[in-house]
Structure 1
Amino acid sequence: MRILTKLLLFICLFFSLTVQAQWYETQGHASTKGSSVEIARSKAVENALKKALLVSGATVSSVQQVVNGLLTQDQISIRASGSVNSIELVDEVHSGSLITVTIRADIFPQEKKCFAVNFKKSLLITRSHLVHREQANIGEIYDIDKSVMAKLGEQLNLQSTFTKTSTIINNKTDFARLNNSLASDKISILTQSLSDTTNSQYVMFSEITNLSFDQQSTNGWMFWQQGIYPRDFGINIYLYSGLNGQLLWQNSYNDTAPWTFLKRVNVDPSGNAFWQSEYGVMVSGILGKVIKDIDENIMCEPSKGKILKVAGNEVIIDLGRDNGLKIGDEFSLLHLTHFTANTGKAYTGFSVSPYKVKVIKLSGDTATAITPDGQLFGNIQVEDIAIRYEN
């Protein structure tokens, strides 16, 4: 018997606007032996939801809170757990005493357990954008958009536990223009393109918003000396997922320190004199806060890599020894899907594959993995996702 139910249930949750949900499609199974169809259906949904929560990075303990057993052919009753935004029952198939359901869950990966902390995520830092270029006139520090990002990349590679960082700072991107025009779709395309080109899981953009001077001199009483004025430094940081181009996190940072250089002296913002000055030390302190915040936002993200090659029961993924992978690590596979909801809106999500693979060979930036039982892949293809999680 085949029952097709499409019922989208929206649950009112209170989340930060920076948190992004992602659709996952999974299958769950349960037996009707010794129980009613309704109970078996509920268990099958729990089984499917558990798989979706695992690969999304959310906690599995929320499954019992999400599905409360009041599932019938015409109605699914959901109690919010803080992870699941909505659920769609896509398909239901009965075969003998086995019931198989396919669900589509919109999940906020907010409730996390840090099983991913042993793996370094690859982060691409792009050149910043001077929002008010004229503010760089004093000292002619126009290259601060390059030097600050170069310094951030250096400090991340020295201090960060969870990132492997690369930079592209010689050329500007279109991020600032697109961000100013609220072109989120085009930012997503830009992010994914940069991610593909540089083999990065995350892409960081930034805007330097303030280099202005305060009006009051810090040594105004020394009338025989040139005034030393406080100078501001403000920067906005945006962290995007390279896999789907979604904004994961953003924050603004601001501080002030005395500008101790003479007014008409040109200052090299990449030189030691700048970074050892009071102003440079203040900027470096802000970068330290950025590193801490990036680590906190990346550390619990599941380790995801793109599939570069599929052959028989073997795949090559774009994560390797430099990311902390080891021989024997296991990954699940996600197939990229596109679907249209009942509202007519198109979505992109992941179908959780039944295949799991184990790493048998490593290089610095790639891993070769196979299905342990030799099973050949079905619809898994290049550009699909390999994701590591723990039960």
Structure 2
Amino acid sequence: MNKLLNCALSAATWLTLCVSSTAYAQWFESTGHANIQNDDIARAKSVAIKDAITQALVFSGARVTSMQTLVDGVLTQDQLKINSHGEIQKIEMISEDRRGDQFAVTLRLDIFPQQEQCPASSFNKFVAITQTQLKHREQAKLGQIFDINKASSENLYKTLSNSPISTRPTAYFNFPIRVGEFFTQQYDYSNALLEEIASRSNSQYVLLSQLVDISNSEKLNNDYAFWQDESYQRAYNIDFVLFDGTTYERLWQKSYRGKGIWPFEKTELIDVYSENFWGSDYGQTITDINQTLSYDLQAAMACLETQGKILHIENGKLVINLGKAHGIEKGQILNIAHHNYLTDAAGNKMPNMITTLNQVQIQQVYQQSAIAQSIDKQPLPNIQINDVVELANLAL
């Protein structure tokens, strides 16, 4: 039975793996870091502790789903769910340190990982981070934060980029897209748009999102207390959905709800790219949600296959859009598959992947691409550009 603990989220962590002397246990020493906002040491310490725990779990192969319960910076409630790949036996605090506006906590964790792991978890998956869309633009009037969708998407991209996980982001947040149809239950979204995003960003997966509520509530301070600055509580509610850019399948969907104090004056124009904004309680609320999403996305994508496409064919050799960044190595064997659709009685299209008997071996590897050749160096029959390549050992 898994031991339940609270999970932490932060940007940067240094992690050292140490194997214990026993046959089954491994111990991990991890250092979690956090920025100190508004001289709030307690909060920074909690974030650093949570960061260290989460990074150790991810590094050990555990799949983590986190829910935060914090009171005065102390982990007070067992809320971390570890899904099937690891079990924490013991946590010890080794040290804590403050340097300038950074707080660091080093922990030692005894983890008993289970033997069963998905082979796909050792390969990197690239996901396009698209520009989130404001569902109700009029809600951005307070502070004139009409670019909050772009700024929050960029923040998410940076969060994923700084996390040592196998989910690798690609930037697609500078292009406005209509996402409303992707959040309906009718499955009437545009496959062409998903394919375009996946192709232009060279990503197998596409993450879409929409900001459903950024409205403000009533003032928190009293109107009679004229000496106090105005402050409001403001919502940050956002929906995410993950698609496979090759099969167009909806793979994962989740909503996040948060509130933060909006400390700025009602008539003040706010730069959503400024330190003033991101250092506020509301900005930190967005950052916390993006941190939580980054680990939820890691859990959702850990066992998804890494697939690529054929970009060019010449003299029995193939150029594919997978490379070192994806975990591809020279000598690996790939299967080739055709991608088409089946149509059911109701007219709904269902993805259908047909794996052929053709196999190729990686000959040269670059960062984002590789060259493969048929194993027997014979021509590959019925192979076309945009056909799918997949690792042979994962396709069995």
Q: What is the TM-score when the length of structure 1 is the normalising length?
A: 0.66
In 2: Cα distance, 1:202 partner to 1:265 partner:
39
Structure 1 residue 166 corresponds to structure 2 residue 174: no
Question: What is the aligned partner in structure 2 of residue 72 from structure 1?
Answer: none
SS at match of 1:204: strand
Q: Tell me by how many angstroms 1:121 deviates.
A: 1.4
Alpha carbons of structure 1 residues 160 and 356: separation in structure 2 relative to 1, 3 Å: same
Contact 1:160–1:291 under 8 Å retained in 2:
no
Contact 2:131 2:177 in 1 (8 A): yes
**Identical counterparts, % of pairs:** 28
Distance 1:189 1:216 in 2: 45
Residue 367 of structure 2, aligned match among 360, 364, 369: 364
Partner of residue 143, structure 1: 147
Q: Which residue of 2 aligns with 1:289?
A: 292
1:131-280 matches, cutoff 5 A: 131-176=135-180, 178-179=181-182, 184-215=187-218, 217-218=220-221, 222-280=225-283
Q: CA RMSD in A?
A: 2.3
Distance 2:251 2:179 in 1: 15
Other structure's SS at 2:355 match: strand
Give the corresponding residue for 1:378: 381
Q: Kindly indicate whether the alpha-carbon contact (under 8 Å) linking 1:123 and 1:200 is maintained by their aligned counterparts in 2.
A: yes
CA distance in structure 1 between the partners assigned to 2:272 and 2:146 by the alignment:
8
1:323 is aligned to 326
Contact 1:320 1:363 in 2 (8 A): yes
Partner AA of 2:244 in structure 1: S
- Deviation track 1:106-125 (CA, whole Å, cap 9, x = no partner) reads xxxxxx95212222212111
Give the 3 Å change call, closer, same or farther, for CA 340–264 of structure 1 in structure 2.
Answer: closer
Look up the match of 1:115: 119
Q: 1:196 to 1:278 in 2, by over 3 A?
A: same
| Structure 2 residue identity aligned to 1:202 | Y
Give 1:157's aligned amino acid: S
For 1:181 and 1:252, the matched residues in 2 are separated by 14
Q: Is the 8 A contact 1:312 1:377 kept in 2?
A: no
Deviation at 1:276, TM superposition (A): 0.9
1:128 partnered with 2:132: yes
SS at match of 1:267: coil
In our comparison, the structure showing a higher alpha carbon Rg is 1
Number of residue pairs aligned between Structure 1 and Structure 2: 279
**What secondary structure does 1:359 align onto?**
strand
**Post-superposition shift, 1:294?**
1.3
CA–CA distance in structure 1, aligned partners of residues 383 and 266 of structure 2? 61
Q: Does the alignment pair 1:308 with 2:311?
A: yes
Query: TM-score, normalised on structure 2?
Result: 0.65
**1:160 Cα offset (Å):** 4.5
Q: Is the 8 A contact 2:161 2:169 kept in 1?
A: yes
Distance 1:141 1:280 in 2: 12
1:326/1:355 Cα in 2 relative to 1: closer, same or farther (>3 Å)?
A: same
Rounded to whole Å, the distance in 2 between the matches of 1:276 and 1:145 is 17
Shift of 1:142: 0.7
Q: Partners of 1:283 and 1:373 in 2: how far apart?
A: 54
Cα-to-partner distance string for 1:139-178 (whole Å, 9 max, x where unaligned) = 11110010000111111111141122222233311223x3
Which moves more between the two structures, 300-309 or 186-195?
186-195
| Structure 1, unpaired ranges of 5+ | 1-111
Supply the distance in 2 between the matched residues of 1:345 and 1:231 (Cα, whole angstroms): 41
| 8 Å Cα contact 2:309-2:387 kept in structure 1 | yes
Q: What is the distance in 2 between the residues matched to 1:221 and 1:295?
A: 48
Q: Does 1:299 align with 2:316?
A: no
Partner deviation per Cα, 1:205-242 (whole Å, 9 max, x = no partner)? 11111111222515668443233221111111111111
CA distance in 2, matches of 1:169, 1:290: 17
The whole-number CA distance in structure 1 between the counterparts of 2:295 and 2:218 is 32
Q: Cα distance, 1:279 vs. partner?
A: 0.9
Alignment partners' CA distance in 2, 1:305 and 1:123? 13
Q: Which moved more, 1:235-244 or 1:374-383?
A: 374-383
Q: Is the 8 A contact 2:247 2:339 kept in 1?
A: no
Matches of 1:344 and 1:234, distance apart in 2: 35
CA displacement 1:79-127 (0-9 Å, x = unmatched): xxxxxxxxxxxxxxxxxxxxxxxxxxxxxxxxx9521222221211111
Residue 132 of structure 1 deviates from its aligned partner by: 1.3
Provide closer, same or farther for how the CA distance between residues 377 and 113 of structure 1 changes in structure 2, counting only shifts above 3 A: farther
Alignment of 1:387 with 2:395, yes or no, is: no
Q: Give per-residue Cα distances to partners, 1:331-363, cap 9 Å, x unaligned.
A: 211112345567876544111111222211011
